Structure 1
Amino acid sequence: MNDTPHSLSSSRTLWDLLDARARLIPGRPVLLQGGRTLTFGALRARAERTAAGLHGMGVRPGTVVAWQLPTRLETVVLSFALARLGAVQSPVIPFHRDREVGFALRESRAEFFAVPGVWRGFDHTGMARRLGAKGILQAYDALPEGDPAVLPPPPAEGTSVRWIHWTSGTTSVPKGVLHTDRSLIAGGSCLAHALRPRPADVGSIAFPYAHIGGPDYMVMLLLYGFPAVLFEQFALPGAVAEYRRHGVTIAGGSTAFYSMLLAEQRKEPAVRLIPTLRLLAGGGAPKPPELYHAVTREMGVTLTHGYGMTEVPMITMGDPGDSADHLATTEGRPPRGMEIRIVDGEVRLRGEAVCRGYLDPAQTAEAFDEEGFLRTGDLGRLTDSGHLVLTGRLKDVIIRKGENISAREIEDLLAAHPAVGDVAVIGLPDPERGERVCAVVEQPPGAPELTLRTVTGYLRAQGLSVHKLPEQLEVVEALPRGETLRKVLKYELRERFADE
């Protein structure tokens, strides 16, 4: 095998990819957490021993194993042990509780369930028992181990479904998304080749490893042979010390992470928050252009934003070499092999990184068109340079008196207002208009109180058409967000303000 990142991205399985990297640089660190370090070689060796322990418990190729674990070295080891066995793994975000976890266990028909015991004051083992979970395994401090000599050969192909990820919760009902090793490698390759990390870089995983971004990021580490710091619990300002301690050069996660780091930087504008940081990168939620300019200006770093979803972990990614205008206003370009088609304004996708569908066949049939393109539900357009510009969601199009209004357009304008910390624009049922435009605003500390008149006056001054102006303003202490990439849960806002 030609040992370049691009050649490694052709690995058949995730285990092949780990094995290849571990043979090249076994002693180089791959995961850092607190005072603990795991090298590429040690990750492979520990995963094999854990795979043998799981094999002794009855885990075989095709066995469905759900796991709900925080972002820890042991979590990554367990995941690769399952990959070594060819099991089907179903990661569950550790913040989810009985309703979501019970749904995932029932729908996936999990035969084993790995939990952290009591974590952050919550008894996960007790919940697993309440739900009648099978094969409960406490896998926080210790993992089962055995002799790798008992193991069958690793999986020979990476095109079978071996992952069931769950949609992140911006809708009220989750869906089980079916992935293969190859689809995850293709998605991680897009991220890696766009960012072009260097061997001396140090990355960071500040989001739950159970999220689709976990294996996505891990593929990048394996392709380019550099380490990342794991955060079991991400909070500022505490996390800054870990960034500084390990000399993190690449950080990020989503728009909310950029905003949190920027707010921390503003406490001491003259002192660089993370001196070694050169690149912020992420995706998962819209990025207002004003936030891009504020981050690059005040933190002195490059910011590249991408576009992905549980169904397609990485679709496009900003390139550090792109112009400031492209980085501020687009989601980057797709990699080779990702086909993007715009149909009636909707972004549709086809390629190796696209999931195989959903656990529910009816959902799969609805999600793909007759030519095999995934309907994303996102609205967008491709520029002449091949960059993708997202303009909103199909469900975020507010239809007022028969006119289509983009919530994203209004949000981007309001995000630049100094009295707005964050904003979500939603459509609410209205007997006269069909829907009315409602802006829900989270204000920064010390900001003057906003009024609807202030907001509409500002938007008029920005040139927004009169028929798009909000007719309702709600100021909240905090917008409701999912626990993974901190996306705003608009369905909760619609339910809360529909009758007001």
Structure 2
Amino acid sequence: MNDTAHALSTARTLWDLVSRRADLTPDRPVLLQEDRVLSFGELRERAERVAAGLYDMGVRPGTVVAWQLPTRIETALLSFALARLGAVQTPVIPFYRDREVGFALRESKAEYFAVPGVWRGFDHGEMARRLGAKGIFEAYDSLPEGNPAVLPPPPAEGTDVRWIYWTSGTTSAPKGVLHTDRSLIAGGSCLAHALCLSADDVGSMAFPYAHIAGPDYTVMLLLYGFPAVMFEQFALPDALAEYRRHGVTVAGGSTAFYSMFLTEQRKRPGTPVIPSLRLLAGGGAPKPPELYHAVVREMGVRLTHGYGMTEVPMITMGAPDDTAENLATTEGRPPQGMEIRIVDGEVRLRGEAVCRGYLDPSQTAEAFDEEGFLRTGDLGQLTDSGHLVLTGRLKDVIIRKGENISAQEIEDLLHRHPGVGDVAVIGLPDAERGELVCAVVEQTDGAEELALGEVTSFLRAEGLSTHKLPERLEVVDALPRGETLRKVLKYKLRERFSGS
């Protein structure tokens, strides 16, 4: 991290960070979207006017404001306006519907709710009214504005809870995760430090801004003073024109994004799919080593992968100057200030980037150990060089005849098979064995359909122990994925195949 970025990382609040960056480089762009450009100076100026408009509506320091908005310049302006006021904001992923949105509104006790109106054919305003939301207002292409002279002083400290994020809640109700400005700045600083970026880079946001990655990434832009292209709707190959037009140098999001870029590259071997691109980076899901090698070999770019979660937006990150072995097989190293402890195989965390807990105090008590370390539920180990290797989830361990089997180990091996595009290994109930190992495969285009015998023979040749071999194979057209970072939803596969 350069000296300027290091000095900015000491900002007490997000608004303090915005102001410092605006003073340094007011005319440099920060957000790019189609033909629109927002500079750092305009970000501060316009966010203050929006803050004044919200103040005129009745929003005050500590007021809880929920927003469910797509990845747009207006969304960033609204979020920073709320940060300027010291309001408590609770972002909601725009793909969520009545169940998740209603839960978030009730649990957060939101007094205002910003929606995009009709977006991608769905009427968010109607849903908000159906759910009995308070203070509904649209914030898609226009925002409330007022005279900043009416505003109270900005928040002086960044240690109060001002953010409520929501876990996915795939098998139960979502959890409200409590963050402060300082925890978000710490997470973004970790990302910025690891990637070694500069003011000459151009980033990209192809994920929902309402995801925890939104502030994580924006903090990095503010620290280093470079812009990012925002994608309201991301799909390849349609989005490639915008990447090329703006000269994006850093792209990514998660493992699924790497695969999508690689698929496009394979349509034109030898011709860079994005000529300016030099780095793919992301996290949020396991990265098969073979995918790393394929991206580097075929796209001619670096790939750095990290480890984060809603509770801790950035835990570790691969660095561009790491060895190929570490970049392929680990999640990188933690930054200074992030403590990692392995307890009975589980990764536990303590540091400024860790959330303050959950809205439900009982969930907080359960999640932290007696020394204040967050129990992640992830299994892993630290190498001698301090790199973190994740080996699975506590809830993703298959117990077959009393033996623990890591689903991720089998998945990583199957990713080496030329006929496997993606794979999820799950445990299914079995009266004799407790659980049986089932591999659910999404095949590559044009590949002959796999059979179980071929899969087990391949895994034997790769050195997998006999007791870990799958006893069942399912081939599907597409694995079910979440709408945010496109993680595979294993619970849906268990529901689908448990009774068949």
Could you tell me which residue of structure 1 aligns to residue 97 of structure 2? 97
For each residue in 1:239-279, what CA deviation from the matched residue of structure 2 results, as whole angstroms up to 9, or x when unmatched?
Answer: 10000000000000000000000000000012110000000
CA distance in 2, matches of 1:441, 1:130: 40
Could you tell me which residue of structure 2 aligns to residue 49 of structure 1? 49
Could you tell me which residue of structure 2 aligns to residue 123 of structure 1? 123
Q: Structure 1 counterpart of 2:356, which letter?
A: R
Secondary structure at the counterpart of residue 197 of structure 1: coil
Counterpart check, 1:30 vs 2:13: no
Q: Is the 8 A contact 1:170 1:490 kept in 2?
A: no
Q: Is the 8 A contact 2:177 2:358 kept in 1?
A: yes
Seq. identity, %: 83
Could you tell me which residue of structure 2 aligns to residue 315 of structure 1? 315
Could you tell me which residue of structure 1 aligns to residue 231 of structure 2? 231
Could you tell me which residue of structure 2 aligns to residue 437 of structure 1? 437
CA distance in 2, matches of 1:494, 1:370: 34
Structure 1 residues 387-398: aligned runs within 5 Å? 387-398=387-398
CA distance in 2, matches of 1:437, 1:109: 43
Q: Structure 2 counterpart of 1:365, which letter?
A: A
Report the CA distance between 1:169 and its aligned residue: 4.3
Could you tell me which residue of structure 2 aligns to residue 21 of structure 1? 21
Secondary structure at the counterpart of residue 369 of structure 2: coil
* C-alpha RMSD over aligned residues: 0.9
CA distance in 2, matches of 1:122, 1:345: 44
CA distance in 2, matches of 1:376, 1:284: 13
Q: Structure 1 counterpart of 2:406, which letter?
A: S
Q: Structure 1 counterpart of 2:307, which letter?
A: Y
CA distance in 1, matches of 2:490, 2:368: 24
Report the CA distance between 1:196 and its aligned residue: 1.2
Secondary structure at the counterpart of residue 238 of structure 1: coil
Could you tell me which residue of structure 1 aligns to residue 175 of structure 2? 175
Q: Is the 8 A contact 2:441 2:475 kept in 1?
A: yes
Q: Structure 2 counterpart of 1:479, which letter?
A: L
Secondary structure at the counterpart of residue 4 of structure 1: helix
Could you tell me which residue of structure 2 aligns to residue 199 of structure 1? 199
CA distance in 1, matches of 2:413, 2:99: 37
Could you tell me which residue of structure 2 aligns to residue 256 of structure 1? 256
CA distance in 2, matches of 1:326, 1:494: 32
Where does structure 1 lack aligned partners over 5 or more consecutive residues? Answer: none
Range 139-148 or range 163-172, more displaced: 163-172
Q: Is the 8 A contact 2:169 2:175 kept in 1?
A: no
Secondary structure at the counterpart of residue 370 of structure 2: coil
CA distance in 1, matches of 2:347, 2:261: 31
Could you tell me which residue of structure 2 aligns to residue 339 of structure 1? 339
CA distance in 2, matches of 1:168, 1:382: 27
Could you tell me which residue of structure 1 aligns to residue 286 of structure 2? 286
Could you tell me which residue of structure 1 aligns to residue 208 of structure 2? 208
Report the CA distance between 1:171 and its aligned residue: 4.0
Cα 1:171–1:336 change in 2 (3 A) is farther
Could you tell me which residue of structure 1 aligns to residue 324 of structure 2? 324
Report the CA distance between 1:428 and its aligned residue: 1.0
CA distance in 2, matches of 1:173, 1:195: 35
CA distance in 1, matches of 2:170, 2:479: 13
Report the CA distance between 1:185 and its aligned residue: 0.3
Could you tell me which residue of structure 2 aligns to residue 77 of structure 1? 77
Query: So what's the TM-score if we normalise by structure 2?
Result: 0.99
Q: Is the 8 A contact 1:414 1:420 kept in 2?
A: yes
Q: Structure 2 counterpart of 1:122, which letter?
A: F
CA distance in 2, matches of 1:461, 1:170: 35
For each residue in 1:381-439, what CA deviation from the matched residue of structure 2 results, as whole angstroms up to 9, or x when unmatched?
Answer: 00000000000000111110010100000000001111111000011111111111011
Report the CA distance between 1:7 and its aligned residue: 1.2
Secondary structure at the counterpart of residue 239 of structure 2: helix
Could you tell me which residue of structure 2 aligns to residue 420 of structure 1? 420
Q: Structure 2 counterpart of 1:135, which letter?
A: G
Range 24-33 or range 486-495, more displaced: 486-495
Could you tell me which residue of structure 2 aligns to residue 148 of structure 1? 148
Cα 1:446–1:464 change in 2 (3 A) is same
Could you tell me which residue of structure 2 aligns to residue 218 of structure 1? 218
CA distance in 2, matches of 1:171, 1:205: 28
Counterpart check, 1:108 vs 2:108: yes
Q: Structure 1 counterpart of 2:37, which letter?
A: T
CA distance in 1, matches of 2:270, 2:300: 11
CA distance in 2, matches of 1:423, 1:168: 21
CA distance in 2, matches of 1:270, 1:194: 29
Where does structure 2 lack aligned partners over 5 or more consecutive residues? Answer: none
For each residue in 1:450-484, what CA deviation from the matched residue of structure 2 results, as whole angstroms up to 9, or x when unmatched?
Answer: 11111111111111000000011111111111100
For each residue in 1:149-201, what CA deviation from the matched residue of structure 2 results, as whole angstroms up to 9, or x when unmatched?
Answer: 00000001000000000113454431110000000000000000110111110
Could you tell me which residue of structure 2 aligns to residue 472 of structure 1? 472
CA distance in 2, matches of 1:123, 1:72: 18
How many residues align? The count is 499
CA distance in 2, matches of 1:416, 1:145: 54
Counterpart check, 1:360 vs 2:360: yes
Secondary structure at the counterpart of residue 54 of structure 1: helix
Secondary structure at the counterpart of residue 90 of structure 1: strand
CA distance in 1, matches of 2:49, 2:445: 51
